Amino acid sequence: MKNTDKLSCITYLASPDTNAADVTAIAMLQQINSSYFLARRGYALGWIGLASEQQRLAVAEEKQAWHGSAAVFWPGILTEQLSRFTSELDTSYQLYLDVLDGASCADLVEAASYQPALNEKFNLVSCSYDESDLQQVERLDFEPVTQASSDEVDTEVWMKASWLSHEDDDASMRFRFSFGLDGHEDVAADPYRQTLTSQLAQILFPESKIITDNAGLAKNLQQLLEVDAIEFVERIIYFNSPDGGAQFHQDVERGHLGVIFAQMSGRTAWLALSKKQLIQEILTFLARQDAKSLLPTALGKKHQTQLFKYANDPAYINTWLDQRDNDALDMFINQTPAFTQQLVTNGYAYVLHPGDVLLLPQQGMDDCAWHSVFCLDEEPGEALSFAMKKRDVL
Ligand SMILES: [Fe+2]
């Protein structure tokens, strides 16, 4: 489902080369007070405007969107509770700033603010730097103080601090909690360690409780996801910084129903839609008479030819999106202002303020929400991104 019916409040105001004065004039004509520049890591995609307050869809429409693997937006659902976590958010922001300044995460988490909770439950067993991974800042391995019943059981879990890109001027960073060999582990196969990672994340970023210990939110989620209880796993704490964010991607993981993304501070803009919708939008764009002239110049002739070769082949686009070596398609969906304009106009854009939540369903590789994130502020902002899975109620 597109959000055009009730959320038509976001408009594409102007192309990225439009100067600020002209954007202001265009916005005034449309009675729009807030305009934002969408840019990420050296390429700009245009100006968008927020005409009015974003609204929630009706429950039936939300369910239709969720089951169709489209994003569901809950503006302001956490706003009231945010004030209860001011000090936790300040501590986490300071942690991010200190890591940015070159401090060691290992030293920082030994600090008083995380004690005694951390030492009561976990031992820090090692701290490492992977020089082959240019995005990784530091990895901390922990094991629980109380071991599992068998010594054979692997109980180590980790927190990794990583950059979101290789760009020097993008200070976007994430703190991710998981275990095992990154990218190769079937995390769903080890619910014990999944739970441990969640406990560790909760101790180091206690503002997580705004999602995990929130009866009102739980009720809303249970109703939408149609499950009795939800466990929040594979947790990531993001600090999206100016010019940073994330390119189009999905977060599919076996056993997970989707991801909840909650903005804690700062603002982000999103393009979010189901994979099927994205494929349809790609085909629609490439069918335009003027499509070629609207592609970014960075997309050379070879890539353009490749792109148009599959312009009538949704099955190939579906597979192509999942491939790592897909530069032509990747550059097109991420760096084409006119394609961004089309997505915004067709109702797939969201602006998240502190307290807003965006839900990203995932049923499988072909049925999942694809999303792209932009930072809208001069300062980094924090967000929580947790995978959701059905919790078995005993
Ligand atoms: Fe994501």
Task: Compute the distance from residue 261 Cα to the ligand 1 centre, in Å.
Answer: 8
Q: Is residue 358 part of a domain?
A: no
The yes-or-no verdict on residue 6 having pLDDT over 50 is no
What is d(CA 392, CA 394) in angstroms, rounded to the nearest whole number?
Answer: 6
Q: Are residues 163 and 178 in the same domain?
A: yes
Three-point CA angle 365, 331, 380, nearest 5°: 85
Task: With respect to residue 66, please indicate whether it lies within any of the assigned structural domains.
Answer: no
In degrees, rounded to 5, the angle at the alpha carbon of residue 319 between the alpha carbons of residues 238 and 386 is: 20
CA of 70 to the centre of ligand 1 (A): 13
Query: pTM for the full model?
Result: 0.93
Centroid of ligand 1 to alpha carbon of 251 (angstroms):
5
Domain count of the fold of the chain: 2
Whether residue 218 sits in one domain with residue 174: yes
pLDDT for 332-370, tens place per residue?
Answer: 999 999 999 999 999 999 999 999 999 999 999 999 999
Same domain? 136 vs 262: yes
Q: Would residue 128 count as lying in a domain?
A: yes
How close is the Cα of 240 to the center of ligand 1, in Å?
A: 12
- The answer to the question of residue 146 being in a domain is yes
Give residue 173's pLDDT.
Answer: 92
State what percent of residues in the chain have pLDDT above 90: 70
Average pLDDT value for residue range 212-241: 95
* 208 in a structural domain: yes
- pLDDT at 185 exceeding the cut of 70: no
Kindly tell me if the per-residue pLDDT of 136 is higher than 50: yes
Q: What is the distance in A from the centroid of ligand 1 to the CA of 272?
A: 10
Output the CA torsion sign for 29, 30, 36, 38: negative
User: At 156, phi and psi to the nearest 5?
Assistant: -75, 140
Note the pLDDT of residue 393: 60
Residue 9 has what pLDDT?
Answer: 87
How distant, in Å, are the alpha carbons of 7, 303, 388 from that of 55? 6, 39, 23
Task: Clarify whether residues 29 and 113 are in a common domain.
Answer: no
pLDDT tens digit sequence for 44-60: 999 999 987 788 999 99
Instruction: Look up the domain containing 146 and give its range.
Output: 80-267+378-390
Contact 383, 263 (CB under 8 A): yes
Q: How far is the CA of 238 from the centre of ligand 1 (A)?
A: 11
Q: Considering the chain, what is the average pLDDT of its residues?
A: 90
The rounded Å distance from CA 250 to ligand 1 centre is: 5
Residues 296 and 329 in one domain: yes
The span from the CA of 239 to the CA of 373, in Å, is: 12
Rounded to the nearest whole angstrom, what is the distance from the C-alpha of residue 371 to the centroid of ligand 1? Answer: 6
Q: What is the pLDDT of residue 148?
A: 58
Residue 7 has pLDDT above 60, yes or no: no
Residue among 136, 151, 142 at smallest CA distance from 124: 142
